[in-house]
Amino acid sequence: MKFVHIADMHFDSPFVNLSNKEYMGELRRLEQRKVFKKMIDYIKDNNIEYLFISGDLYEHKYIKQSTIEYINKLFQEIPDTKIYIAPGNHDPFLKNSYYSKFNWSNNVKIFSNNIEKIENENVNIYGYGFTDFYCENSGIENIEIDNKEKLNILVIHAALDSSNIEDRKYNPIKKNMLKAKGFDYVALGHIHKLDYNTEENQKIVYPGSTISLGFDELGKHGMIVGEFKEKELNLNFVPLDEKEYKVIQLDITNMNSKEELIEKIENVDIKENEYIEIVLNGNRNFEINVYELLKLVLNDRVIKIKDKTKIGYDLDKLSNETTLRGLFIKEMKEKLGNENINEEEKEIIEKAIEIGLDVLE
């Protein structure tokens, strides 16, 4: 028995946190379609019997009917593959959702908030779906596997062993409880980081997000391909997303101008399939405006610049000057020395120093 397991596709995501370049959101939405088509083609070419989608297939708030029709058309191209979808917190099974009102392909089963067991010839598929944007208890602990001669698989969107208070709103489940139930495979979704083969005989798996949603999701993204031979499970990760997000650290301590920095960024070695975030570190000797920098950098692969530098001027030396500049710095130093200012106010004062020194140059 062969299967593909994906999760967290987030079709029609606005990608608002991805970059400051307007076209990037639209480009990534097109790449979502390309990645999904690649998965369907793999299923065709390899006679995959089951497709498990463990939640967040789309963004309820932003999904377009044309995108749902595109997804469903691809499902119709694999009529011999049984498709099981467990809605998550971004695509819950609501009365007005496409899960409820759309006429899906005959090979698609969408789970709701009643735990269901679907009996097939050699495998029983258990599933549960969110029916709201939050779920504090799915009741999975009440499942009792009644036929261990067959394969038993659970498809669910859940936060596994999370100590994060926020994640307790998203179907918190204990791994030890799942292991005790005796499932042959648990197809999870929700966590966007790949987790498979990190322990011996691992059967509880996060495939990660199918396509990277931003610079907090570095590395390869794709699908889990599994095969059971009798009760023996073999798992492989197959990359699907042709683009890869990378973060490059750049120390600007020894740079003295915006022009020098832009030249340095332009000389960074970037591959054609990479999207790059430049993180500026060190001590800055000139004013930095990341929005202006991003417009001036010609390499389209650089889509985000983050400023983590600290002010690099010798304020003690400057404040001793018998000039207007010296008087200005002396006053600014007094403000910085105020114990009652917070970090945001400190950054504003430092920015004022940079602008003031530029004017008084």
Q: Alpha-carbon torsion 268, 271, 277, 279, what sign?
A: negative
Question: What pLDDT does residue 18 have?
Answer: 66
Residue with tokens 């999975």: 140
Q: Output the pLDDT for position 356.
A: 84
**Hey, CA dihedral for 156, 202, 191, 139, is it positive or negative?**
positive
Range of the domain at 113: 2-239
At residue 286, the pLDDT reads: 84
Specify whether the CB–CB gap between 107 and 83 falls below 8 A.
Answer: yes
Shared domain check, 255 and 229? no
Listed residues 239, 267, 286: the one ending a domain: 239
Number of domains, the chain: 2
- Please indicate, yes or no, whether residues 132 and 263 belong to a single structural domain of this protein: no
Clarify whether residues 318 and 229 are in a common domain: no
* Whether 176 and 274 share a structural domain: no
Domain with 63 in it: what CATH number?
3.60.21.10
57 CB-near residues (< 8 Å, 6+ apart): 9, 10, 11, 71, 85, 87, 88, 91
Q: Are residues 8 and 64 in the same domain?
A: yes
Structure tokens at 10: 């987030």
Q: What is the mean pLDDT, run by run of 10 residues, along the chain of 361 residues?
A: 97 79 84 97 98 98 97 98 98 97 98 95 96 93 92 97 84 94 97 92 96 91 96 95 94 93 94 93 88 89 89 81 89 87 85 80 68
In this prediction the pTM is 0.85
- Both 80 and 207 in one domain: the answer is yes
Domain end point (choices 223, 239, 255): 239
Angstrom distance (rounded) from CA 157 to CA 135: 10
Kind and range of the H or E run holding 108: strand 108-110
pLDDT for 322 equals 87
304 backbone dihedrals φ, ψ, rounded to 5°: -155, 140
| Boundary (domain end) residue, out of 239, 257, 276 | 239
